[in-house]
Amino acid sequence: MTPAFTRAYVVAWLSMAALLPSLAHAQLAPPSPESPSGLTAKTLVTAKHQMVVAANPLASDAGLAMLDAGGSAVDAAIAVQLVLNLVEPQSSGIGGGAFLLHWDARRRRVASYDGRETAPASASPTQFLQHDGTPLPFARAVLSGGSTGVPGVVALLETAHRAHGKLPWAQLFEPAIKLADEGFAVSPRLNRLLSAEPAGAASFDAAAKSYLFDPYGKPWPVGHLLKNPAFATTLRTLATSGSEAFYKGAIAEAIVATAPNGQRALGGMTRDDLAAYRAKTRPPVCSSYRRHRICGMGPPSSGALTVGATLALLEPFDLGPVPMAPRALHLIAEAEKLAFADRDRFIADPDAVPVPNGLLDRAYLARRRTLIASDTAQPKATAGTPPGLKRTGLDATTEAPGTSHISIVDASGNAVALTTSIETAFGAHRFVGGFLLNNQLTDFSFRPTDAAGQPVANAAAPGKRPRSSMAPTFIFAPDGRLLAVLGSAGGSTIILHIVKTIVGIVDWHLDAQAAVDLPNFGSRNGPFELENKLGGELIGLKMALYGHKVVDSDTPSGLHVIVRHRNGALEGGADPRREGAARGN
């Protein structure tokens, strides 16, 4: 199948969205905390030397400016992240956490950096249980002081810059400082997400309310020039004094004072918790798929292990040359069920809970593969018994989608895949120093033990990092060259989006934009989730014939992909579900 044909195929699916009726019997999935904000068609962007793909054009422009100044991929990623804090505050920022994957083209080495938030020393496995032992309602938990973990983004960025930066640290702050001082236009997505807040301005603390809403409690309109002098001050401090100024001193004091907020459940973060935070260098997790090497982030991210297991389970099956063929989607979903069953039971912070070392063991996965029927959907899968197993309880984690992803390739061929988050839209709705605080501790299981009394691997504990599904990913071609840089937003659906995109590139030979444009689909060991607004209704009817319970997935992805060809040419794809842009030259 030619690239032109496959791209036309995907465009046809997009055009069908306005013509096809809704799938009559589909059940609606729970609404996404970071709700959809419409579709904006994107075209494939090509470049010869370097490229940035991020969730907002201003952020992509900032990253490309650093590359044009001779900066590295890490330099560009730092500038992008800081601008995203301003223009896309609902999704990420220095009040949250991130994972960063780095490719050193000269040394041919993948490194991964863990900037996930940590629970404070006062954390308890039962902190999200009510007096009667039942879990706190999720909507209350995410806005409580106890939801906020020690932020890791600033430490992560500084750690990566020390290892891979070329430009001076302070220079990377200049685009965000300029925008914070001079203002930026409120985007349609930011306005829509503020308008979608169930309690409106009342759910935000006073500082956040005065920044994000007008004096009458209405979200600032699209195009309003929004300035953030408090963030400019914070950035100048960090540019001059580095991460120490974030984890100690006035900024740390303000975080500690803001996290509890007397109107909400008390949090327990202290100055000592902030001062003790460290970003970690961890070994990447790499697996193989059709002679390609797939590398990603290991625990406490569940991304690379779950993606790797899914692809290994799929490898003996021929998924065919036609994108979105029902049989291929059925097989992918069945493999995902098995991988998610293991993910939910075994993966957590490896510094606190031993993770089985055999989750990607080929013999183990071959046994698991026998559970896949080529023509019938299996019921909910149960976890297996991988090598290195230490028994843990059934998980009860609810992971909300509210994240952003950045993909970068610099002129030297180095690459960064950075996935960053403050958890649900606008995090904990508390504002300090011009940025929002995260509510990532709700990524822990609210129940610390299962019905049989077995401890849950992903239960809260002092200093522990909650399990994540963020999955920054590299694909390497059979000849060893870097083929693709990718990642997505979407909570635990991130894993489904990454699998979709890898299959689109490797099996269906789609270009970067066409792979991103494919309707989102998959299974998290439950129903078959299908994005009907992108033309999936007829596919849903066919999936039901396999026995799948089909639900309409309304969780917006945020896929940002760069594909690099053998001649060095780059192509970038930005997700039509968000406001992203690919920039390159």
Contact 531, 542 (CB under 8 A): no
Report whether pLDDT(32) > 50.
Answer: no
pLDDT grade for 266, boundaries at 50, 70 and 90: very low
Q: Where on the phi/psi map is residue 418: left (φ > 0), alpha (ψ -120 to 50), or beta?
A: beta
pLDDT tens-digit map of 41-96: 999 999 999 999 999 999 999 999 999 999 999 999 999 999 999 999 999 999 99
Residue whose structure tokens are 């300090």: 432
Q: What does each C-alpha distance from 202 to 143, 147, 194, 195, 560 come to in angstroms?
A: 12, 18, 11, 12, 33
Integer Cα distance of 580 and 53 in angstroms:
7
What pLDDT sits at residue 536? 63
pLDDT grade for 389, boundaries at 50, 70 and 90: confident
pLDDT tens-digit map of 472-490: 999 999 999 999 999 999 9
In this prediction the pTM is: 0.92
pLDDT tens-digit map of 489-527: 999 999 999 999 999 999 999 999 999 999 999 999 999
Integer Cα distance of 465 and 472 in angstroms:
17
To which H or E segment does residue 68 belong? Answer: helix 57-68
Integer Cα distance of 383 and 381 in angstroms:
7
Contact 502, 524 (CB under 8 A): no
To which H or E segment does residue 562 belong? Answer: strand 560-564
Active site residue 403: yes
How many C-beta atoms surround the C-beta of residue 21 within 10 A?
A: 7
Q: Judging by beta carbons within 10 Å of its beta carbon (0-12, 13-18, 19+), is residue 429 exposed, middle or buried?
A: buried
According to DSSP, the residues that pair with 550 across neighbouring strands are 528
Report whether pLDDT(343) > 70.
Answer: yes
| Token code pair at residue 256 | 């500690």
Phi, psi of 227 (to 5 degrees): -110, 150
Report whether pLDDT(12) > 90.
Answer: no
What pLDDT sits at residue 398? 57
Q: Mean per-residue pLDDT for 368-375?
A: 96
Nearest to 82 by CA among 94, 73, 100: 94
Q: Judging by beta carbons within 10 Å of its beta carbon (0-12, 13-18, 19+), is residue 509 exposed, middle or buried?
A: middle
Phi, psi of 417 (to 5 degrees): -120, 115
What pLDDT sits at residue 333? 98
What pLDDT sits at residue 138? 80
- Mapping DSSP to helix (H, G, I), strand (E, B) and coil, where does residue 88 land? coil
Nearest to 532 by CA among 40, 27, 15, 22: 22
Nearest to 309 by CA among 267, 341, 277, 272: 341
What is the rounded average pLDDT for all residues in the chain? 90
pLDDT tens-digit map of 183-197: 999 999 999 999 999
Residues 6+ apart with CB under 8 A from 206: none
Q: What is the DSSP string of 9-42?
A: HHHHHHHHTTTSPP-TTPEEPPPPSS--------
Residue whose structure tokens are 């799948």: 548
Phi, psi of 256 (to 5 degrees): -60, -40
Integer Cα distance of 198 and 468 in angstroms:
25
pLDDT tens-digit map of 117-150: 999 999 999 888 888 888 888 878 878 778 999 9
Give the helix ranges, DSSP H, for 315-387: 326-346, 362-369
Among 6, 159, 306, 403, the active-site one is 403
From the candidate CATH numbers 3.60.20.40, 3.40.190.10, 3.40.50.2300, 3.40.50.720, the one assigned to the domain spanning 3-282+396-483+495-584:
3.60.20.40
Q: Where on the phi/psi map is residue 114: left (φ > 0), alpha (ψ -120 to 50), or beta?
A: beta
Integer Cα distance of 337 and 378 in angstroms:
9
What pLDDT sits at residue 400? 54
